Structure 1
């Protein structure tokens, strides 16, 4: 059921793609279905801005032009998945360690369409550990600060992001105020990006082929 919902969500996101667009493309298993579907209409778009090397490789296999965000300027549309989504469309993202580039492309886009399966829907964020991308030398510092906030940090050992940084996954949080926690964590030196997409949350969430 999950893979079918992911495929339906990826295909349903095509309804937001307009002729001549440059589309922001996220990362992950659900986005992979979107990229496959996008390949069928690649001649209708100018190209895409990719959030990860993984997605860039899949796009290249389909012959879809990958463009530099610095050259494109603002985007009309960003399509990406999530690890968790609450009823206010706030998200936890970063299970695939692409959270920084994903957050940059989301910020640059007028509309953020999030594509998920029903297993990603939660009442309160936090059951999925919150990823935090950190500068390597700050791993322990950030971990200590997270403990002060009641979290249980676990270093995702062996994982290096596309930006050359490390990831800490924070367990044990029930995130009732995603905007506030995102703001608070962003003040800790050494944190590059927090996997909370709350201040810039999704505009539309597709669960399979239905709008949340």
Structure 2
């Protein structure tokens, strides 16, 4: 069983679900589409990117907007880092703000990752995306530099990358973060910052797969009263 197939098992009938972005999320959307087209599941999805929206339509998944739903049953998405307490860094795929909005609109956030995304501390991979209003880009760059975060605006063929929201992305070159909550608060206080790639205390379940084929190897769940995480390990037959 892959992590995408396991995630589909967790989708209740007639669910309204957030559809994430990135490689693992695309695998989930395709697996979900198979069940929908077979008539096994009826769902409505809210995509976190225009790319995901196009894929969902191709797979026969009905789409709605956040204006149409009060609360989503769950969101299934990927991540770029997962620490032992299931805190995340997301945004390498550049959809971080919509991903955070959709996750915050959901009763449950399920994350799908390859085992290379598990880190002992957030920031281990050295990169934290921040989405920025275009007008504020110079100010935000200066403030990030003052925080020692070594900002690098994302450019493609010399032009600044533009998100689905019409904003730009700055990649902060970072070391492991000793206090992610404090850093997130500091970044969000900078005028022009729309959102950061820090997703703290949001994921309920993380499905871990082998990096080559996403074969399910581990299932981690947040322990709400202790703030940590429990896990089950799986072996291939």
Report the TM-score when normalising by structure 1: 0.93
Residues in 2 aligned to 1:153 and 1:170: alpha-carbon distance in whole angstroms = 5
CA displacement at 1:45 relative to structure 2: 2.4
Which of 90, 110, 113 pairs up with 1:113? 110
Residue 181 of structure 1, aligned match among 177, 180, 183: 183
The aligned runs of 1:47-126 (5 Å cut-off) are 47-126=44-123
Q: Which residue of 2 aligns with 1:203?
A: 204
- Structure 1 CA distance, aligned partners of 2:45 and 2:154? 29
- Distance in 2 (alpha carbons) for counterparts of 1:24 and 1:177: 29
Higher helix share: 1
For residues 146-157 of structure 1, the aligned pairs below 5 Å read 146-157=144-155
CA–CA separation in structure 2 for the residues paired with 1:206 and 1:93: 15
Cα drift, residue 181 of structure 1: 1.3
Match of 1:130 among 98, 122, 128: 128
Whole-angstrom distance in 2 between the partners of 1:89 and 1:177: 15
Name the counterpart of 1:28: 22
1:94-124 per-residue CA deviation (whole Å, 9 max, x = no partner) reads: 1111011000000000110000000000001
Post-superposition offset of 1:188? 0.8
Q: Contact 2:126–2:174 (CA<8 Å) still a contact in 1? A: no
Distance 1:183 1:15 in 2: 36
Segments of 5+ residues of structure 2 without an aligned counterpart are 210-215, 221-237
Pair member with larger Rg? 2
Is the contact between residue 26 and residue 50 of structure 1 (CA under 8 Å) also seen in structure 2?
A: yes
Residues 150 and 173 in structure 1, CA contact (< 8 A), matched pair in contact too: no
Q: Is the 8 Å Cα contact of residues 113 and 206 (structure 1) preserved in structure 2? A: yes
Give the number of equivalent residue pairs: 205
- What's the TM-score once normalised by structure 2's chain length? 0.83
CA RMSD of aligned residues (A): 1.3
Tell me by how many angstroms 1:139 deviates: 1.1
